[in-house]
Amino acid sequence: MTLTTLVTRLQTQPLSLRQLLAYPIPTHILQRFACACADRALDATRKLQMEPDPRCWRALTLAQDWLEDNASEDDLAEARVLATDAFVNVARRVRTTSMHMRAASARAFGATHNALESFYQTTHLHNVIIATSKRSIEAAQIIAFNLSEYHATSDELLYVEQLELQWQRQHMFSLLSSLLQQRERLHTLLTIRHHRLDQQIQHATSQWEGVLFG
The string of pLDDT tens digits covering residues 176-187 is 998 888 777 877
Give the count of domains, the chain. Answer: 1
**pLDDT above 80 for 8:** yes
Which H or E element spans position 112? helix 99-117
Predicted local distance difference test score (pLDDT) of residue 73 = 96
Question: What's the rounded Cα separation, in Å, for the pair 32 and 39?
Answer: 10
Report the range of poorest mean pLDDT among 103-107, 141-145, 191-195, 203-207.
203-207
* 6 in any annotated domain: no
Question: What's the rounded Cα separation, in Å, for the pair 100 and 199?
Answer: 68
Predicted local distance difference test score (pLDDT) of residue 31 = 96
pTM: 0.82
Domain boundaries, position 93: 18-213
Q: How far is CA 192 from CA 43, 161, 183, 195, in A?
A: 44, 47, 14, 5
Q: How far is CA 175 from CA 2, 34, 58, 132, in A?
A: 15, 12, 22, 17
* 11 in any annotated domain: no
pLDDT confidence tier of residue 93, bands split at 50, 70 and 90: low
**pLDDT above 90 for 74:** yes
**DSSP line for 54-80:** HHHHHHHHHHHHHHTT-S-HHHHHHHH
Amino acid at 50: M
Judged on CB neighbours under 10 Å (0-12, 13-18, 19+), 31 is buried
pLDDT confidence tier of residue 4, bands split at 50, 70 and 90: confident
* 13 in any annotated domain: no
**pLDDT above 80 for 206:** no
* 144 in any annotated domain: yes
* 198 in any annotated domain: yes
What is the DSSP code (8-state) at residue 120?
T
The Cβ-side half-sphere exposure at 165, using a 13 Å CA radius, reads: 15
pLDDT confidence tier of residue 199, bands split at 50, 70 and 90: confident
CATH number at residue 143: 1.20.1590
The Cβ-side half-sphere exposure at 12, using a 13 Å CA radius, reads: 4
Sign of CA dihedral 23, 18, 112, 147: positive
* 4 in any annotated domain: no
